[in-house]
Structure formats: C-alpha cells, structure tokens
Amino acid sequence: MVKIRLTRMGRRNAPFYRIVVTDSRRARDGKYIEAVGYYNPQKGECKIDTERVRYWLSCGARPTDIVNRLLKKIKNMEVNYDAA
C-alpha cells in the first residue's frame, strides 16, 4: 500500500521532516517515491504541493494521521477513510 507520511531529516534535537509518498513496507527514512512537501515543527513552517497530494490520493495513497492533520490545517484537505 502506498502511504503519504513523514520522513525525518535534520540533526539531533532539531528535527525537520519531509512529507513523502512511499511504500508502507519501507523503513521510515528509507527510499521514497516522491517528496511532496516539508514540515518544520520548530518554526511551525509547512509547505505542501497540494496538486501532487491530490494526484496521489486519487491513485489510492493513504496519508498517516499526522499528515492528514497537516493537510487539514494547511489546505483543508482532510481525507476520511472507513475502517476496511
């Protein structure tokens, strides 16, 4: 299954995250298909390429809870799924 999730970048005690599209079986910081944005929790910055996110959602990708929260906060793009 394809997921939209965070991958950690930055140094110790200074986290910086990329929002990436990846296979759910890969490691958190492993290889990814495409980077669609970033999130810096220290500065409160978040930039997301909404067109690419919409494309991946239409292809069946599922965002994690944190990414879903960021999408809702930034662009009002919350994605709801039934437990299937």
Residue pLDDT, tens place only, 28-74: 888 999 999 999 999 988 899 989 999 999 999 999 999 999 988 88
Tokens 């494309």 belong to which residue?
55
Look at residue 30 and tell me if it is in a domain.
yes
Residue 33's CB is within 10 A of a number of other CB atoms, namely 14
Q: What is the domain count for the chain?
A: 1
Look at residue 36 and tell me if it is in a domain.
yes
Banded pLDDT at 83 (limits 50, 70, 90): very low
Look at residue 34 and tell me if it is in a domain.
yes
What range does the domain containing 13 cover? 2-75
Q: What angle do CA 57, 63, 65 make, to 5 degrees?
A: 150
Q: Which CATH number belongs to the domain containing residue 14 in this structure?
A: 3.30.1320.10
pLDDT tens digit sequence for 1-36: 999 999 999 999 999 999 999 998 988 888 999 999
What does the pLDDT read at residue 76?
A: 67
Look at residue 81 and tell me if it is in a domain.
no
Burial 41-68 (b: 16+ CB within 10 A, else e): eeeeebebeeebbeebbeeebbbeeebb
Look at residue 48 and tell me if it is in a domain.
yes
Rounded-to-integer distance, Cα 27 and Cα 74, Å: 26
